[in-house]
Amino acid sequence: MAFGSFDSKSSGHTMSEINMVPLIDVMLVLLVIFIITAPLLSHSIKINVPQVTAEPVEQEPVVIDLAVNEAGQLFWNEQPVALEDLTIRLKQEATQDPQPQLRIRADLDTRYEILAEIMGSARASGMKRVGFVTRPAEGRPTEGRPTEGRPSQISGVAGTSANPGGAALPSAPN
């Protein structure tokens, strides 16, 4: 860009003209690029896509209710089951698609050792959806920390209320 001249005839003042030729060249090159690429951007292929009206498949979630009484006896959907048979049954259920949800209901006096064995066998068999069912205690606040000396109970399975009716554990067979 020229702002002055080296001509000796000029009277010594600076020439204030901007050379527009390089700017016009760049603008013309960009105009040619846009003229060439614009038709390519709007090009599309017409495809006849089939129209379908489908409703989502409503599946009832399969729930396995595993109850443990104070003596450590296990009940698979209200039927007695041995701890040794539990792993075999859980492996069979873990292969289903969709995988059923295992809900563990334990008596307040159940030993932690039994619950740890149940959770260990559920994990070893490949069960991914395991939860606990509890019933809130009467006379205790439902929010915040418990006021009595006991730890708070885990409520629900995967964020849902799992035992709304508060069903009692099945009794041991005689």
Ordered by where they begin, the domains of the chain are 63-132 (3.30.420.270)
- Residue 26: what pLDDT? 95
- Split at pLDDT 50, 70, 90, the class of 110 is confident
**Which has the higher per-residue pLDDT, 87 or 143?**
87
Residue 139: Cβ-neighbour burial (10 angstroms; 0-12, 13-18, 19+) = exposed
Tokens of 54: 């489908």
Looking from the CA of 56 toward its CB, the CA atoms found within 13 Å total: 3
CA distance 158 to 168: 21
> What distances in angstroms separate CA 106 from CA 85, 133, 146, 156, one per listed residue?
18, 8, 20, 13
Q: What is the pTM of this model?
A: 0.48
- Residue 136: what pLDDT? 76
CA distance 40 to 34: 10
Among 37-51, 94-108, 145-159, top mean pLDDT goes to 94-108
